[in-house]
């Protein structure tokens, strides 16, 4: 029986502990992976850690398990959950997403109904042309590859989309296992786009390119008015998350 506690970054908030009181000291020497009947298990000194719901941290591929194990191996004296996004994503897949697949697919579909790539600026013309060129290429990919036809509009007034196309987005989401779906569910709101999220999940876009596409407006403004330090720090963190998602999807392939 393993004595390893579940990893739950929200434990302090729930129990009212101070950060210094709830920090978990590193209790293992080496992290690795082993193949089991259930899949590839992350192991700490030979024992498998548990998710917040007390389920085994087992992933479907060796590469995905190694991605998670590397986060544990990289920890210092104390466990820092904020530096373990793949572990958090795996736990979400195992504990939550597997039980609410259709609801998660509905959320992804809702983003497609208001997809970032469909809302072009009203001005200036140079930005409109950039959005239509770069976003239009990925709307075309979605239509050609998956039959998802999303109609663009200028401005912020809602553009209703064809229900058959939205149904295809949901069908694509539901065709995924809970590990892929968890990654997609993280990618879509991060990018503001089901189109870009699906392209990232399917390996058609890298994390960096997908993120750059998601912030064409911000990049256009920065080119003209300069970069705000706080916004730049936020963008760097989001870019890193998107790159991690690329690695997540690659590891699941």
Spatial CA neighbour of 115 closest among 185, 212, 194: 194
1-24 tens-digit pLDDT:
233 334 333 332 232 323 444 788
Which region among 95-99, 100-104, 173-177, 224-228 has the lowest average model confidence (pLDDT)?
Answer: 224-228
Instruction: Give the whole-number percent of the chain exceeding pLDDT 90.
Output: 86
- Residue 228 pLDDT exceeds 70: yes
Region 173-199: what's the mean pLDDT?
98
Q: How far apart are CA 95 and CA 34, in angstroms?
A: 21
Region 101-119: what's the mean pLDDT?
98
Which region among 86-100, 169-183, 226-240 has the lowest average model confidence (pLDDT)?
Answer: 226-240
Evaluate whether 125 touches 205 at the Cβ level (below 8 Å). no
Q: How far apart are CA 196 and CA 190, in angstroms?
A: 10
* Average pLDDT over the chain, rounded to an integer: 91
pTM score, whole prediction: 0.90
Evaluate whether 85 touches 186 at the Cβ level (below 8 Å). no
Q: How far apart are CA 200 and CA 187, in angstroms?
A: 8
pLDDT of residue 4: 34
* pLDDT classification of 227: cutoffs 50, 70, 90: confident
pLDDT of residue 177: 98
50 token code pair: 């548990």
My answer on whether omega of the bond before 124 falls inside 30° of 0, hence cis, is: yes
pLDDT of residue 91: 97
Q: How far is CA 147 from CA 22, 133, 169, 196, in A?
A: 50, 20, 9, 15
pLDDT of residue 15: 29
pLDDT of residue 8: 39
Q: What is the dihedral of CA 185, 189, 192, 195, to 10 degrees?
A: 0
Region 237-253: what's the mean pLDDT?
97
- Residue 210 pLDDT exceeds 70: yes
32-88 tens-digit pLDDT:
999 999 999 999 999 999 999 999 999 999 999 999 999 999 999 999 999 999 999
Q: What are phi and psi of 175, to 5 degrees?
A: -75, -10
Residue 59: beta bridge partners?
A: 40
Instruction: Give the whole-number percent of the chain exceeding pLDDT 70.
Output: 92
pLDDT of residue 23: 84
Spatial CA neighbour of 43 closest among 53, 52, 34, 35: 34
């Amino acid at each position: 029986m393993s004595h390893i506690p579940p990893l739950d970054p929200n434990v302090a908030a729930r129990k009212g502990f101070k950060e210094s009181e709830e920090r978990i000291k590193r209790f293992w020497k080496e992290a690795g992976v082993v193949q089991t009947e259930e899949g590839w298990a992350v192991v700490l000194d030979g024992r498998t850690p548990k998710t917040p719901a007390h389920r085994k941290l087992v992933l479907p591929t060796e590469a995905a398990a190694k991605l998670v194990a590397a986060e544990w191996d990289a920890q210092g004296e104390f466990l820092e959950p904020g530096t373990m996004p793949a572990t958090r994503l795996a736990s979400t897949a195992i504990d939550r997403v597997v039980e609410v697949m259709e609801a998660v697919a509905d959320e992804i579909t809702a983003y497609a109904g208001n997809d970032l790539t469909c809302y072009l600026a009203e001005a200036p013309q140079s930005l409109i042309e950039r959005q239509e060129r770069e976003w239009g290429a990925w709307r075309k990919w979605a239509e050609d590859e998956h039959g998802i036809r999303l109609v663009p509009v200028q401005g912020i007034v809602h553009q209703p989309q064809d229900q058959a196309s939205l149904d295809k987005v949901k069908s694509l989401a539901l065709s995924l296992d809970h590990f892929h779906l968890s990654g997609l569910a993280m990618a879509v709101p991060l990018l503001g786009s089901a189109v870009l999220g699906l392209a990232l999940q399917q390996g058609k876009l890298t994390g960096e390119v997908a993120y750059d596409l998601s912030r064409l407006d911000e990049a256009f403004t920065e080119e003209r008015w300069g970069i705000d330090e706080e916004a730049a720090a936020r963008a760097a963190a989001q870019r890193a998350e998107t790159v991690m998602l690329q690695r997540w999807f690659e590891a699941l392939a």
